[in-house]
Amino acid sequence: MPEIETAVAENLRRVRKETPLVHHITNLVVTNVTANVSLAIGASPVMAHAQEEVAQMVRFARALVLNIGTLTPATVDAMLTAGQEANRLGVPVVLDPVGAGATDLRTKSTERLLSEVKVTVLRGNAGEIATIGGYGGRVRGVDSLEGSRDMAAMVSEMARHFGTVVAATGKTDYISDGQRVATVHNGHLLLTTVTGTGCMVTSVIGAFVGVGKDPLLATAGALAYYGLAAEIAAREANGPASFQVALIDTLYNMTEEELSRGARIRIAPV
């Protein structure tokens, strides 16, 4: 299906042309790197988390990214306010449930966000997604120890249940909107040696769903783009820190043609 790769490249072209503003309410570990990844891909990030301004800020946004990595009750309240305003305006919402399953605060805040906000894309690692879906994944801190065995079934069932695109990322990424399951086979092991690489791809997804019409395809495309950049960056990296530098440079430099040639995405009906 060459039209998948063409559509993915078209999404990148639109991000670079339209510079979508992506409003982030995110964690303290990744504020800088997710902003830099957003800029590198051509998007325009804004970080704003005060309850007093989030509803007003999200009006400028083409996408809202919510990330609970260092959540407090106050930031969750701001996420709910921003998320509901995004829903009212038709702005897509991407949720990264960092560490869901590790503590009650994380698990319950994720449940609350999923029930009180219409989420467009839920992106986590296999353990987080399995926990949220009740598949019994185990989570230790913010690490995923294991996911569900049948990932494709899990993400498609959860997509139907929550009415959202669900992406469980890992060596292979599984994405479903309930009708289709996409798998993405790009990526590199060095991504596991840098903090926030999951959060960064969530920001890329935010930009892609901000400009794309099909959230499943936008999510798969963002994952392929990011994973392919990691593969290229790994060739010149000497370790985790030079890898991160090369990753951001590669996201910036990759042409749309390189992306459509290198993306390894398969989409099948459920």
Residues that bind a copy of itself (CB under 8 A): 21, 23, 27-33, 35-36, 38-40, 44-50, 52-53, 56-57, 60-61, 69-73, 99, 102-106, 140-143, 192-196, 237-242, 244-253
Nearest Cα to 13, choosing from 227, 208, 203?
Answer: 208
Question: Any residues with CB less than 8 A from the CB of 15 and at least 6 apart, and which?
Answer: 41, 42, 43, 207, 208, 210, 211
**Which residue, 49 or 180, is less far from a copy of itself as judged by CB?**
49
C-alpha 136/C-alpha 140 separation (Å) is: 13
Q: How far is the CB of 128 from a copy of itself (least distance, A)?
A: 13
Q: How far is the CB of 217 from a copy of itself (least distance, A)?
A: 26
Separate counts of helices (H) and strands (E) for the chain: 11, 11
Cβ atoms of 175 and 155 closer than 8 Å:
yes
152 sits in which H/E element:
helix 151-162
Q: How far is the CB of 132 from a copy of itself (least distance, A)?
A: 17
Q: How far is the CB of 216 from a copy of itself (least distance, A)?
A: 27
**Which residue, 192 or 255, is less far from a copy of itself as judged by CB?**
192
Q: How far is the CB of 46 from a copy of itself (least distance, A)?
A: 4
**Which residue, 6 or 60, is less far from a copy of itself as judged by CB?**
60
**Which residue, 60 or 161, is less far from a copy of itself as judged by CB?**
60
Beta bridge partners of 180: 269
CB atoms within 10 A of CB 253: 12
Q: How far is the CB of 189 from a copy of itself (least distance, A)?
A: 12
**Which residue, 30 or 265, is less far from a copy of itself as judged by CB?**
30
C-alpha 222/C-alpha 227 separation (Å) is: 8
Question: Any residues with CB less than 8 A from the CB of 178 and at least 6 apart, and which?
Answer: 156, 159, 160, 163, 270
Q: Residue 96: what residue type?
A: D
**Which residue, 242 or 255, is less far from a copy of itself as judged by CB?**
242
**Which residue, 12 or 71, is less far from a copy of itself as judged by CB?**
71
Q: How far is the CB of 100 from a copy of itself (least distance, A)?
A: 12
Nearest Cα to 187, choosing from 97, 240, 264?
Answer: 264
CA distances, 81 to each of 100, 113, 205 (Å): 20, 10, 21
**Which residue, 46 or 267, is less far from a copy of itself as judged by CB?**
46
- Beta pairing, strands 93-96 & 121-125: parallel
Q: How far is the CB of 65 from a copy of itself (least distance, A)?
A: 13
